[in-house]
Amino acid sequence: MNIFAATRFMVSAAIVIAASACGGDDPLPPGPARLDLAPATEQRLFGVGATVQLTATPKDESGNPVSANVTWTSDNTAVATVNSSGLVTATGLGTARVRASVGSLFQEVTIVVSEPRYNVNATSACSSPDLRQFKVETESAHLRIVSGLDNPPGGFTTQDYQAFAATFESLVWPVLTENFGMPTDIDKNGKVIAFFTRAVNELTPAKSQSVVGGFFFGRDLFPRAGSPRLQACAGSNEAEMFYMLVPDPTGVVNENVRTVESVRRLTIGVIGHEFQHLINSSRRLYINQSAMWPETSYMEEGLSHIAEELLFYEASGGLLPRQNIDIDMLRQSQQRLDAFNSYMSSNSGRFSSYLRSTHDNAPYQRDDDLQTRGAIWSFLRYLADRGTPGTPFAEPVCGEPVVLTVGGRCRIDGAAGAQFNVAAGSSLGEFTIVAFSADAAVSTNASADGSLAVTGPPSPSLGVGGASPTTFASASIGPAVAGLTLDYAFHSRLRMIERRDLPSHVSAARAAYARTASLGPRTYSAQATAPLLAVSVVEPVWSQLVNSNDTGIVNLRGRFGADITGAARDWATAHYVDDIGLSGLPAQYRHPSWNFRSVLPALSSNGGSPSGPGTYPLKVNQLTTSHSVSMVDGGAAYYRLGVAPTTTSTVRFTVNGAVPPANLKLTVVRTK
């Protein structure tokens, strides 16, 4: 038999009885017809002393609140007590039922108190848990920040954690939920959990040149307990959460020093990145139950990098997509520089790495390396800017010889590229040939007779002098820090573990949480005390990609048209011809949101400095000599040649020593 320890709370202390004009009494107001309890779903508390506030509201038959005495009781005070105001306090480990009663009406909620530990094992999904104790540092409307009890000394203060939570509420939560959708709420606590733990630091070996900034692990969305017919994931934390790097000023972990300031500057950008992973994974698993789970690695990472870009726009104070942002626009205010360094410098650096090696990387390559991440972010932005799905821009087929005016373009496909002549006309001609490998890898050799050496585009836009974008204000959220290069190889391994170990658990997970769906909402709802803020940029396409049942290329085709390969060819051409001063350039050959020829040379990784710009990192081959290039599916190679006035140059392409197949696509552009 359960024994309840009870207290009583008077909701309304007085009942006013008014005399009527004829001397009689008005009837007493009706008693409550129902009792609403909030929160009404199972509550988990971690450790003795943890609390949760419950609220009971008596209502009449019309749903209007009425005055009534509410009694609060707990059936197991050794686990949880409740006071007269509905505040529940954990007193021991175990399970208790807390009841709110008004007369014969009552509502109950289960309280589960467990030892405050989370599994941080990042090398195994469902086995060998590595449990670490934690404490709650701060909470906001949608975020709970906890920190490991074994974290190195000299780390973040309470004020630091409160600042992260405030930025999450004012920036990260509204921007990402408006653009990607609400996450699920499987633990029914109304909050995402950020676990700041030295376990993340431990993932970086001693003297490594890169650092793991944080991670999301899909296993935490799966149920721990199963049944004879449904698999369980014992390593799951059963919570919407991600894990974050912590400061380590003295290098306690693997002798890697991580200053408070350097980690602070990385934190919000990493939170935004991992939060998109959480939204994407949780919605595909539980909200869109016909969806394939998980999304491909390149799409998951690309969308998380889009999340970083969206945070940049919001934090910049006015910059928007499709404004062809250049270095001078970024230098107009410190706020813009800080926003770029915090949320866009990494995207720009990854895209720069891709441009140095376009032949053996592609946006939809099935890996998770730095170059693929840079490519897929840029390709997704290009597709979104391009707008209505459709077919690629149809260039005319090149004639023989190729005769073009400045800015003119034509295409050559397959066998026609084996040999063709390019004519200069009456003046010196400079030409760029973009070779693209469609739907299959190719090994090419390109050569030209009668070609002159030429360098660069005709009028590169490098911007004017001024403060370097590596300059930032200490009072800002903060930029990415030179010397803390994020480690993407770890995330590649993590995504491989998810795809290897978890798909077999999807049916069990969906079945388990379907049984609890009626007990409460499966997605978060904004609290009345924290209304969702309006954001500057809301692009429906990102939510469409997240909420699709398909993955990868099929997902892209459903949103951007059937010929994704053709769109990728146009995108690859844009890397060279956009923003070099050519008139009449079609929209398919532009990057509408970013002037990369202006922004990328300003990065320190591309040689930029306060004294001047560096170089645009696209690798271009001079056809004064032959070049052998192997291209992956979706890879591109760039060639420049000059042709003297009144002469022609003969250009030859072979694939594996033979006539090129149909999947070798050439675009010829006259730039001068």
Label residue 556 by pLDDT band (50, 70, 90): very high
What pTM did the predictor assign? Answer: 0.84
- What single DSSP character describes residue 584? T
DSSP track, 268-284: HHHHHHHHHHHHHHHII
pLDDT score recorded for residue 515: 63
pLDDT of 483 over the 60 cut: no
Question: Is residue 597 within a helix (H) or strand (E), and if so which, with residue range?
Answer: helix 596-599
Residue 307 has pLDDT above 80, yes or no: yes
Which has the higher per-residue pLDDT, 527 or 343?
343
Of the chain, the percentage scoring pLDDT greater than 70 comes to 87
Residues listed for the chain: 672
Q: How much is the pLDDT for 11?
A: 32
pLDDT mean over 349-377: 94
What are the boundaries of each domain within the chain?
5-114
DSSP string across 352-395: HHHHTT-TT--TT-SS--HHHHHHHHHHHHHHHHH-S--PPP-P
Conformational region of residue 639, where left means phi above 0, alpha means psi within -120 to 50, and beta covers everything else: beta
- In the structure, what pLDDT confidence band is assigned to residue 258 with cuts at 50, 70 and 90? very high
What sign for the dihedral angle of Cα 134, 137, 139, 144?
Answer: negative
**Per-residue pLDDT for 470 more than 70?**
no
The tokens describing 421, both together, are 């002549």
Percent of the chain at pLDDT > 90 equals 75
Strands 69-74 and 5-10: antiparallel
Cβ-proximal residues to 536 (8 Å cutoff; 6+ apart), any chain: 313, 314, 318, 320
Q: Among 143-157, 230-244, 294-308, which stretch is predicted with the lowest mean pLDDT?
A: 230-244
- Give the whole-angstrom CA distance, residue 556 versus residue 361: 18
Alpha-carbon distance values, 224 to 21, 155, 219, 509 (Å): 67, 32, 10, 9
Q: What are phi and psi of 48, to 5 degrees?
A: -65, 135
Reply yes or no on whether the pLDDT at 533 is more than 60: no
The mean-pLDDT minimum among 142-151, 237-246, 560-569 falls in: 560-569
The count of other CB atoms within 10 Å of the CB of residue 349 is: 21
pLDDT > 50? residue 302? yes
Q: What is the pLDDT of residue 468?
A: 37
Mean pLDDT throughout 236-249? 97
pLDDT at 484 over 70: no
Q: Is 576 helix (H, G, I), strand (E, B) or coil?
A: helix
Residue 228 has pLDDT above 80, yes or no: no
Q: What's the pLDDT tens digit per position in 125-176? A: 999 999 999 999 999 999 999 999 999 999 999 999 999 999 999 999 999 9
d(CA 503, CA 511): 14
Average pLDDT on 81-97 reads 95
53 membership: H or E segment, kind and range: strand 51-53
What is residue 518's predicted lDDT score, i.e. its pLDDT?
42
Dist. CA 618–CA 597, nearest whole Å: 10
Q: Do residues 202 and 253 make contact, with C-beta atoms less than 8 angstroms apart? A: yes
Predicted local distance difference test score (pLDDT) of residue 49: 85
Query: Which stretch of 279-293, 458-472, 506-520, 628-642 has the lowest confidence by average pLDDT?
Result: 458-472
Is the confidence at residue 617, as pLDDT, over 70? yes
More confident residue, 124 or 518: 124
Predicted confidence band of residue 392 (pLDDT cuts 50, 70, 90): low
Beta strands in 128-238 (DSSP E): 131-139, 143-148, 192-196, 210-211, 214-215
Q: In terms of pLDDT, which residue wins out, 225 or 452? A: 452
- Who has greater pLDDT, 455 or 202? 202
At residue 322's C-alpha, the angle toward residues 351 and 549, to 5°, is 70
Bigger pLDDT: 530 vs 404: 404
pLDDT at 18 (0 to 100): 34
Separation CA 338–CA 327 (nearest Å) = 13
Mean pLDDT of the chain: 87
Q: Which residues pair with 35 in a beta bridge?
A: 58
Predicted confidence band of residue 487 (pLDDT cuts 50, 70, 90): confident
SS3 211: strand
Residues contacting 305, CB < 8 A, separation 6+ = 273, 346, 347, 350, 373, 376, 377
Query: Pick the residue with more confidence: 209 or 669?
Result: 669
CA gap 274, 332 in Å, rounded: 30
| Three-point CA angle 599, 601, 604, nearest 5° | 105
pLDDT at residue 27 in the model: 58
DSSP states of 99-139: EEEETTEEEEEEEEEE-SEEE--SS-SSSS--EEEEEEEEE
Which whole number is the average pLDDT over 633-640? 97
Q: Which fold has domain 5-114?
A: Immunoglobulin-like (2.60.40)
Return the H-helix or E-strand segment holding 294.
none
Q: Is residue 404 helix, strand or coil?
A: coil
Q: Give yes or no for a contact between 377 and 641, defined as CB atoms under 8 angstroms apart.
A: no
pLDDT band of residue 393 (cuts 50, 70, 90) is: low
